[in-house]
Amino acid sequence: MSDPALDSHCEHGTSTEAACPHCDSGSTTSTRTLAASSAKVALIGAPNTGKSTVFNAVTGLKAKTGNYPGVTVSRTVGVVRTGDRQITLEDLPGTYDLTPVSIDEQVVADVLAGEIEGVEKPDAILVVADAGTLRRSFGLIADVISLDLPTVLCLTMLDELSRRGGSIDTDKLSAALGIPVAAIDGRRKGSGAQVRSLLGDIAAWPHPVIDPPPSGTEEWAAWSESVLAEADYRSPEPDPITERIDKVLLHPVIGTLIFFAVMFGFFQTIFALAAPLQDYVETGFAKLSEWVYDVGGDNWFTSFVADALIGGVGGVLVFVPQIALLFVLITFLEQLGYLSRAAFLMDRMMGTVGLEGRAFVAMLSSVACAIPGIMATRTMPSARQRFATVMSLPLMTCSARMPVYTLLIGMLISSESKVWIFNAQGTVLFGLYLLGAISTMTVAKIISVFSQRRGPVMPFTMEMPPYRVPSWKLMLVEIWSPVKGFIRKAGTIILFATVVLWALLNLPMRSDADLESAGIDPSDSAAVSTYTMNHSVAARLGHSVEPVFDPLGFDWKTNVAVLSSLAARETFVATLGQMSAAEDPEDPATRLEEARYEDGSHKGDKVFTPPTIVALLIFFVYALQCTSTLAVLRRETASWRWPVIIFCAYSVLAWVMAYIAHTITVWVW
């Protein structure tokens, strides 16, 4: 629906009854016009204003993510179709103004100025601001208006503003700013339709008709107050409930204890709720593999489908419930408003190792994956702190480690075991995450002390959103992307690795005559699989590195799994699953747990004893088994020097710590 107030202006916002100097001069700001069949709109706003919520409400699950050319700042773009027009909506990183301090903010300024090669300058700008904290967004609003691009302001959280005794007249605000103002609540049903309708009227968006003073100046402050006064803006009253809760959650001692209690319960919940679902998925894949053998018979193609595809990739997909629940809990705490407070609380703790709260935000992002965590360091103005954080973040426990930890903890501790009244498996998982966090801060401190890099150190400030009841709809949208990424990885990198591994485990091919000469009955499929695997190219590779891993208690199959995990940590699980499925397609999990050494001084002994499992767990805490992270580190440091140094250093550290853990466990177990 078109806004009549917009139709009475030319594209520069000048009344059609008056002459527009821009139109008279024939100047334009874009090669496209907003009346064209396609246009690009930049979505911009300060952190915690609901910007990404609005973006998700409009684009749903159809957004594409990537990086801006030349940098690793995340880029999110969605396509919105309104009638016969296609709008490209680009969700820019959160920023408080267009005076860049961090790299993220520099990217925002460059995108709006059209100065990034390969990224088109937007035709229009959609600014999102929280009505309850509108004053804090006026620097950004003023800077955007100064760009002289067609602009619309979206106000969110108007219901919270009203509930807390605040108010604003959006029509008067529009008149005072000289741009259209729309009221949107991205958390409510129908908000997506509101924004799509707004984008459908993009041809009527005017250019700003005023030129506000530069943000941060006394003139700007006076202008901001005058605009708010004209709009009859009344600030919301402080929420007494929020203040009472914050006195507890932000207390240096009590708040810290609550934080660790929340994280402890976090991992208890993952094992308590996801384990039953995992059992169902695991049983389903086992039955599917068995069915393939029943239908296809005993041949190489059946082996490929049942062992490589179902046994390998399926062995990773059984952990989807854990991954999904991990992100459900993270998103729940974020929407609740707790994670922002946790970051503020941890600022004190980070200060003890020479870092600040922004480093904790990056660490928190790394719980999903080290890559977004590394990207999050771009908000850190200090080059020294940023470098130290980037180099240490691979030690944070990411979601890729979750399948490895879950598999190994399940073999180490029974699901019925308790530590006091708590689930023992969840307690161990919490301990591993805590060890990763402590190791990250320790390494960051060491690097920070010896780093010669310098940069401004600014106080850590962060918007504290009000406590809100999480929206399940928004949570599903938020968690779908990482879960989809995990499934995509299983269908690409891990699938490729399992196919290669299947070939290595079955080469060289042997005829019936070869098997008979070795004393193997060709009709005994289990014996054939075991013999072929033990004399394969993969076996030779696994045996070749035994001098390195034998002190840790690994057999050749575990060695192959560790080497395969260089592509992606989850491949470790896929490799063990594939080899176990080849030996026993009906019950690969039991086969894995009961695996025995087949040669050497340990022949006949069980492979996965407590010392070996503990060594594997500690090894994966420290080893940088992720080529994607190495590639991002290379882009961040502009050379392969530091990624190679970090990879080698963490590999040595992983081996040393695993050896110490193995030795101690042998003594005490």
Say whether both 440 and 589 belong to one domain. Answer: no
Domain endpoint, select from 177, 206, 237: 237
Q: Which residues of 302-325 are buried (b: 16+ CB within 10 A; e: fewer)?
A: bbbbbbbbbbbbbbbbbbbbbbbb
Say whether both 266 and 176 belong to one domain. Answer: no
Say whether both 441 and 550 belong to one domain. Answer: no
Q: What is the per-residue pLDDT for 187?
A: 60
Helix, strand, or coil (residue 284)? helix
Say whether both 194 and 288 belong to one domain. Answer: no
Q: The dihedral of CA 8, 14, 18, 24: what is its sign? A: negative
More confident call, 187 vs 594: 594
Q: Is residue 247 in a domain? A: no
Both tokens assigned to 277: 């679902």
Q: pLDDT band at 60, cuts 50/70/90?
A: low
Residues contacting residue 202 through CB under 8 Å, at least 6 positions apart: 34, 39, 41, 85, 87, 123, 124, 150
Least Cα distance to 463 among 43, 48, 6 occurs for 48
Q: What is the per-residue pLDDT for 561?
A: 94
Q: What is the per-residue pLDDT for 3?
A: 39
Both tokens assigned to 142: 């003023």
Q: Which residues of 389-419 are buried (b: 16+ CB within 10 A; e: fewer)?
A: bbbbbbbbbbbbbbbbbbbbbbbbbeeeeee
Say whether both 433 and 485 belong to one domain. Answer: no
Q: Above 90 in pLDDT, residue 563?
A: yes
Domain endpoint, select from 207, 237, 267: 237
Q: What is the per-residue pLDDT for 118?
A: 81
Q: Is residue 248 in a domain? A: no
| Alpha carbon separation from 271 to 322, 411, 476 (Å, rounded) | 8, 14, 20
Helix, strand, or coil (residue 43)? strand
Q: Above 70 in pLDDT, residue 7?
A: no
**Whole-number average pLDDT of the chain:** 83
Say whether both 580 and 528 belong to one domain. Answer: yes
pLDDT per position as a tens digit, 104-152: 888 889 999 888 888 889 999 999 999 988 988 899 999 999 999 999 9
Q: pLDDT band at 13, cuts 50/70/90?
A: very low
* Tally of domains in the chain: 3
Q: Is residue 466 in a domain? A: no
Q: How far apart are CA 64 and CA 89, in angstroms?
A: 11
More confident call, 2 vs 496: 496
Q: How far apart are the first and last CA of the chain?
A: 72
The least confident of 9-13, 277-281, 585-589, 606-610 is: 9-13
Structural domain of 90: 4-237
Q: Is residue 72 in a domain? A: yes
Q: The dihedral of CA 488, 492, 493, 499: what is its sign? A: positive
pLDDT per position as a tens digit, 36-53: 578 899 999 988 788 877
Strands (E), 159-207: 181-183
Both tokens assigned to 634: 């290379």
Instruction: Give this prediction's pTM.
Output: 0.77
Say whether both 271 and 219 belong to one domain. Answer: no
Q: How far apart are CA 442 and CA 449, in angstroms?
A: 11
More confident call, 663 vs 495: 663
Q: pLDDT band at 231, cuts 50/70/90?
A: very high
Q: Is residue 428 in a domain? A: yes
Strands 422-423 and 418-419: antiparallel
Say whether both 402 and 487 belong to one domain. Answer: no
pLDDT per position as a tens digit, 457-467: 556 666 777 78
**Residues 619 and 551 sit within 8 Å (Cβ to Cβ):** no
Least Cα distance to 619 among 364, 439, 425, 390 occurs for 439
Mean pLDDT, residues 592-604 taken together:
81
Say whether both 188 and 291 belong to one domain. Answer: no
**Where residue 90 sits, what CATH number does that domain have?**
3.40.50.300
Q: Is residue 572 in a domain? A: yes
Q: What is the per-residue pLDDT for 4?
A: 33
Say whether both 233 and 333 belong to one domain. Answer: no
Q: pLDDT band at 452, cuts 50/70/90?
A: low
Pick the most confident of 93-97, 124-128, 330-334: 124-128
Q: What is the per-residue pLDDT for 542?
A: 94
Mean pLDDT, residues 621-632 taken together:
91
Q: Is residue 244 in a domain? A: no
Say whether both 233 and 261 belong to one domain. Answer: no
Q: Which amino acid is at 413?
A: I
Q: What is the per-residue pLDDT for 306?
A: 84
Q: How far apart are CA 567 and CA 564, in angstroms?
A: 6
pLDDT per position as a tens digit, 391-434: 999 999 998 899 999 999 999 998 889 888 899 999 999 999 99
Q: Above 80 in pLDDT, residue 232?
A: yes
Say whether both 432 and 482 belong to one domain. Answer: no
Q: Is residue 243 in a domain? A: no
pLDDT per position as a tens digit, 364-389: 888 878 888 887 787 777 778 888 89
Q: How far apart are CA 307 and CA 580, in angstroms?
A: 8
Q: What is the per-residue pLDDT for 17?
A: 37
